[in-house]
A and B are shown apart, each in its own frame.
Chain A
């Protein structure tokens, strides 16, 4: 008997063979998102997936057999905001890279969180500009030698979860590709949340990060995530010194606040 992958039904027939390198974490993130939709028994036709430029932009587009909007570099949240305002009935999900969402597109990220617009933003954070050759990103760890920081990165990395929390997001979580189950759980939670949800996924780029920096291949990188991560609960009892170079995984924010398109709809009804 030939088994069929239960998530293959969501994959665009012409795009089954992905464009990513061997062992790239992007495929694990793609699978976690599709599994969350499948487990919630949602209809993928009710979704609009929006991505920007970079390897992570290929996670939904053209891979997902759904409405996808592959936009310009840094702008997926701006496009997604337009989609959500025009079609608040749609489930809008942005999936893109750290450079795309936090460097060139950083302002869109903070304002979408501040507005608490009902969308889910999933950031595939590989700590680097993967697609363009491994340049330093605002998420690159301090000291890392990249193509553009041959003597080591002197800038601190952005904490994207703290950033979106401070800006007002309703739901914030961080996982790594090693934590595929936790990630799936968080995507499910984010999809059922009304306000702005942000999920950071620390993900391996074995080509531009692993190979160039000497960290190793996909397996070595994922083992590193396993060894260097700890839960939010565990982290709460540790000092800043003890948390140095650790990845804190789990749910960081989960609260309910007025959502933007619902507020607009209320106004519209009052003034009708």
Chain B
């Protein structure tokens, strides 16, 4: 499961460029900072490698394993 805190994002595109699974894409909406945050477009392809999270200079991405729902 991936979550992006859109308002922390500065739109550098590092997460999009270094996702080997092409899960993310830049959106064309604007966040509070006036930049385009990425969107999770192919979550089913995500292998939870954590690269996008590790590389985001602004701690805007969290990747976590899905918790079992009760």
Contacts and interface: CB of A to CB of B under 8 A. Distances in A.
Interface string B31-54: 000010000000000000000011
Contacts, number: 71
B61 to A, nearest CB: 8
Given A28-B57, A223-B17, A23 B12 contact: yes
Contacts of A7: 59
A18 B3 contact: no
B65 to A, nearest CB: 11
B8 A16 contact: yes
Interface of B, secondary structure class, is loop
Contacts of A219: 12-14, 17-18
A264 interface: no
A3 B1 contact: yes
Interface size for chain A: under 10, 10 to 19, 20 to 34, or 35 or more residues? 20 to 34
A3 B64 contact: yes
A23 B59 contact: no
A27 to B, nearest CB: 3
A24 B58 CA distance: 9
B54 A181 contact: yes
B20 interface: no
Contacts of B18: 219, 222
Contacts of A234: none
Given A219-B13, A219-B14, A27 B8 contact: no
**Among all A-B residue pairs, the 6 with the closest Cβ atoms:** A27-B57, A23-B12, A3-B62, A22-B10, A219-B17, A3-B3
Interface of A: 1-8, 11, 16-18, 20-28, 30-32, 35, 177, 180-181, 206, 217-219, 222-223
Given A177-B55, A180-B55, 17 more contacts: A1-B67, A3-B62, A5-B5, A5-B59, A5-B62, A11-B59, A17-B58, A18-B58, A21-B10, A24-B57, A27-B58, A31-B56, A32-B54, A35-B54, A206-B12, A217-B13, A218-B13
